[in-house]
Amino acid sequence: MAILADEGTKVIIQGITGRVGSAQAKLMLDYGTRIVAGVTPGRGGQEVHGIPVYDSVEEALKEHEADASVVFVPASAARDSVFEAIECGLRLVVVVTERIPIHDAMRMKALADAKGAVLIGPNTPGIITPGRTKLGIMPGNLYRRGDIGIVARSATLAYEIAANLTEAGMGQSTCLGIGGDRVTGITFVDALRLFEEDEETRGVVLVGEIGRRVEEEAADYIREGFGKPVLAFIAGREAIPGKRMGHAGAIIEGGKGTAESKIEALRRAGAAVIDRPSEVVEVARDLFR
């Protein structure tokens, strides 16, 4: 098993004819992802890397079965693209696009929730089930198949932690980024629920940062009886209150969302919290054995 995506997942790429969409589609194909179609309005009838392109998701689904979409369209078109994918019945939508207006993100999340779809992002590197499939922009060479789940807000920190684990021979079941914006679809709690149900996941690494309260919510969920060990890292200990640090969601406001408050909550919940990514292997060896 895996969570959300595996080698059987059939994928549509929205925005496939763009520079980023085309380049990332090729990398996904090379990794083994089953991309069945691309969508770019006005470009129907073309091909990208041998993938047929359609003017709409609806047209693509008339010719191909699909489960998921990866969205690489500009921020101004992202809401409509996500709505189209969800309204056409796709169960998983991965939104890599950054700088989506917060009200658009809220509407995207509301529609996904109402339709029973899973929305990853926006502003996410996506999801990878090592050795089986990847939907997004993660460097596939950093991962190896195994039994440690990773869920993160920061893509680069998740890459570093995955690379450290991989180098030490500790593989991963599924790794995903929930997204760095203030409003995202899937949350840490959602991911923990999925990992808890996954027989292939032995334990979870949670990579958080300042801003929002999703880490504290995850701590509450862990404390209530999460059945697998959790190792956590929280970035942003030296962040200045009121100053955005990298992600739109990484800002401390009114004394809330600090690294210290998140670390304390996770430790009280029983998670092992490391001070730097380089410590992940040593702690994971003991925690996940």
Give the residue numbers annotated as catalytic, written as ranges: 247
Angle between helices 188-197 and 214-223 (to 10 degrees): 40
Task: Report phi then psi at 7, rounded to 5.
Answer: -65, -15
Type of residue numbered 50:
G
The DSSP call for residue 158 is: H
| Interatomic CA distance for residues 224 and 241, integer angstroms | 30
Neighbouring residues of 189: CB distance < 8 A, sequence distance ≥ 6: 214, 217, 218, 221
Euclidean distance between CA atoms 80 and 249, whole angstroms? 23
Interatomic CA distance for residues 230 and 288, integer angstroms = 9
125 vs 102: CA distance, rounded Å: 18
Task: State the angle between helix axes of 280-287 and 155-167 in degrees (0 to 180), rounded to the nearest 10.
Answer: 60
